[in-house]
Amino acid sequence: MSEIIDKLAVLETVSKKLEPNEKIREEIHRPIINYAQHFLNTVNQTKVYNKIDYEIEDHFPSDFDDQGEPIEKAINHIRDYVHFPGLNPASGGHLGYIPGGGIYTAALGDYLADIANDYAGVDFASPGGVAMENSLIQWMAKLVGYPETCGGNLTSGGSIANLIAVTTAREAHNIKSANIPKTVIYLSKQAHHCVDKAIRIAGLKECILRYIEINEKFQIVSEGLDKQIKKDISNGLQPFMVIASAGTTDVGAIDPLSEIGKICKTHNLWYHIDAAYGGFFILTEEGKEKLKGIELSDSVVLDPHKGLFLPYGLGTIIIKNKKKMHEAHHYDAAYLQDVASTDDVRSPAELSPELTKPFRGLRLWLPLKVHGVNPFKACLEEKLLLTKYFVQEIQKIDGFEIYLEPELSVATYRYVPKTGDANLFNEALVKTTHEDGRVFISSTTVNGVFVLRLAVLSFRTHKDTIDLAIEVLRDGVEKVLSENTFAETVN
Ligand SMILES: Cc1ncc(COP(=O)(O)O)c(C=O)c1O
């Protein structure tokens, strides 16, 4: 017996290293805070993209010391081998893909959530945490014009949110394996690839996927959609679901949301809208107008880690008919008999694939409480205006043309050289800007045309960033021209 007690005492001493006392907490805390302060003080002054010429894996061996090392050493490692190489998504100069955010108060929300480790998947365990998350869902539901009877879930991001929507739709329309070959899903080639992935993961890849014609603004042609649905019905197929986008990733297009809503109602189809990127522009007057019809959908995805500038890790799915969401996701387990009740439609675990999950609500609730909604509105309006400003200014440089007038905050444009292949030129140009690294832009290919994208969504992007982007593009053109056979100069 005493042997056990002696051993326990030894183990307790060593294991207590995991529970630093206040003094040690302060010692660990300080260098972390100092580093975070320095990171934030210089975030818009350092390069947004850093190419490395060594094997990054060499710095991440798969073994760890038994004894540990000083926090300062670990922080230096993070600085040099995580934060330095590649893309800095926290920078306002991140103007590629769909930029993320990283507002400070959200990080503090995460800190508190992790310290308390609230079990916000289940109402029984954390009624406050669950109520907080549900209040956020209701706030977003009001924004898109859903009734209070809707349900939702705070997910890790847009991909899982889309998956929850597709799964709920499948259950709501009682799609079984026997009728899958006759079941039709309608979407456009502009839908985010995570939608295709969700369809596959939800077991629906053998449904008929109809990629509906899009117009010159990359929007679903609603007459074409209606015609196809009628044709499918007359051919004995079973139209099931339409997936529209409110802000596509490629060019920021918004499908005709109201018209699609009417078509879905007429044919009794599940109407899903992926508004992961564009949804929060509804907080602006311009966005509200452009997103009219969003309220007609059965389910909608909105990503606070895009449009509300949060650090990565927060998407949202809202489903108009909460009962359907619950039916698709609820569970029973003997070991949870004290927790579960059949009428529990509050717990996130009853409405999503997750049981244990991070308490994601605090990272959104705290910023909304502390800052209020106004700075978010202003920031979104600023992004729309900055995009217009970019479009205006870039066209002042001879050779640059706008590919598509931006709907929201994604601008597509390219440089057309006087001689040579424009696609190759723009490919070289985007590479040059990455080597430059002062801002980060990305590219896409639409209808065989290689175009550059400028996506304005970081809360740290302001007018000076756009001016810098224009300077980088101008310098880039000169560099490509000087290094290639494109014989001309930039005005
Ligand atoms: C329109 C759209 N939908 C869905 C997604 C996927 O979201 P996530 O990367 O958060 O999973 C993205 C990502 O950029 C997106 O732009």
Question: What are the tens digits of pLDDT across the range 396-451?
Answer: 999 999 999 999 999 999 999 999 999 999 999 999 999 999 999 999 999 999 99
CA 121/CA 462 separation, integer angstroms:
38
Contact 239, 184 (CB under 8 A): yes
- Same domain, yes or no: 320 and 434: no
Q: What are phi and psi of 336, to 5 degrees?
A: -115, 20
- Same domain, yes or no: 310 and 429: no
Instruction: Look at residues 348, 371, 394 and tell me which one is the last residue of a structural domain.
Output: 371
155, 201, 303, best to mutate for ligand 1 pocket (most atoms within 8 Å of CB): 303
Task: For residue 238, give both structure tokens.
Answer: 């079973």
- Same domain, yes or no: 289 and 367: yes
The binding-site residues of ligand 1, defined as CB within 6 angstroms of any ligand atom, are 98, 157-159, 192, 194, 245, 249, 274, 276-277, 303, 315
Dmax (CA) for the chain in angstroms is 88
* Segments in 173-307 forming alpha helices (H): 193-201, 222-234, 257-267, 285-290, 304-307
Number of domains in the chain: 3
pLDDT reading at 391 higher than 90: yes
Q: Which amino acid is at 277?
A: Y
Contact 445, 414 (CB under 8 A): no
Contact 90, 49 (CB under 8 A): no
Residues in contact with 245: Cβ distance below 8 Å, sequence separation at least 6, in sequence order = 188, 190, 191, 192, 253, 254, 255, 273, 274, 275, 278
pLDDT of residue 341: 67
Which residues share a beta bridge with 275? 302
- Same domain, yes or no: 239 and 380: no
The rounded mean pLDDT for the chain is 96
For 395-411, the pLDDT digits (tens) are 999 999 999 999 999 99
- Same domain, yes or no: 165 and 308: yes
DSSP state of 82: I
Confidence tier at 486 by pLDDT (50, 70, 90): low
160, 192, 317, best to mutate for ligand 1 pocket (most atoms within 8 Å of CB): 192
pLDDT of residue 490: 46
- Same domain, yes or no: 218 and 286: yes
- Same domain, yes or no: 389 and 357: no
Q: Report the pLDDT averaged over residues 120-138.
A: 97
Residues in contact with 189: Cβ distance below 8 Å, sequence separation at least 6, in sequence order = 211, 214
Domain containing residue 393: CATH number: 3.90.1150.10
Give 320-362 as a DSSP string.
S-HHHHHHHH----GGGTTT--TT--S-GGGTSS-SS----TH
Range of the domain at 163: 109-371
- Same domain, yes or no: 186 and 330: yes
For 167-178, the pLDDT digits (tens) are 999 999 999 999
